[in-house]
Amino acid sequence: MSRLAVVCGGSRGIGKAVSRLLAERGCRVAVVSRNKDVAQATVASLHGDEHLAFSCDISKEQEVQKTFETIQKTCGNISYLVNAAGINRDGLLLRTKPEDMVALLHTNLLGSMLTCRAALRSMLHGQGAAIVNIGSVVGLKGNSGQCVYSASKAGLEGFTRSLAKEVASRNIRVNLLAPGFIHTDMTAGMREEALKRSIPLGRFGEPEEVARAVLFLLESPYITGEALVVDGGLQLAM
């Protein structure tokens, strides 16, 4: 039987590229998104016909629990979980509203915690599984104007490394992938020409390139608790 992969935020950007690549590799893909219509459109574009779409706000515990229970009942035990859902609201800390802080932390950090916890209940019944959380290079290095976003992604790194230690004995691996500037909706408004000067490879990355790195971590049986940076050699101002 093919492996079941759950991709949260799997209907756009990096998550969509991951969904497509996993489907091409023979996985059954459960695409999870806040927008059910967009998730269904993504599923319709995937290779094969075993894939399903689910609507879920990962920042809400009850929605996550219900969604993952439905996924397991409908599709079986989860082999792969990719947490690619995330939001970004840039701004200096002094100008950041508390409600924006809460929204960033709830989606980018708490959301991944909730989905990991829900997926583990299914993964424990399998013969080995893997989780990849999508962080950010700014969570490792920091960046002016992104204090809260950086904090949410830095927290995700600590969570990933700690969870990897908790579940390693059950042959479940947990890793973080930290992209730099990638061509997605989130980077659409950035000054690309100026930013490219800080990237030795001289360009933004593509979602498909990040997806290949995600696949590498999912399929590498002796890597856990690590953070893999995919940023073209980005040099952020310190």
Residues serving a catalytic function are 149
The amino acid that residue 131 corresponds to is: I
What is residue 176's three-state secondary structure? strand
Instruction: Answer for the pair 143, 236: CB distance below 8 angstroms, yes or no.
Output: yes
Instruction: Answer for the pair 127, 110: CB distance below 8 angstroms, yes or no.
Output: no
Degrees, nearest 5: CA angle 200-203-207? 120
Helix axes 207-219, 13-24, angle to 10 degrees: 50
Distance CA 74, CA 152 (A): 32
Quote the strand ranges of the chain, DSSP E.
4-8, 28-33, 52-55, 80-83, 129-134, 172-179, 227-230
Q: How many residues does the chain have?
A: 238
Distance CA 119, CA 75 (A): 13
Instruction: Answer for the pair 181, 169: CB distance below 8 angstroms, yes or no.
Output: no
**Which of 160, 157, 78, 75 lies closest to 118 in space, CA to CA?**
78
Distance CA 198, CA 11 (A): 29
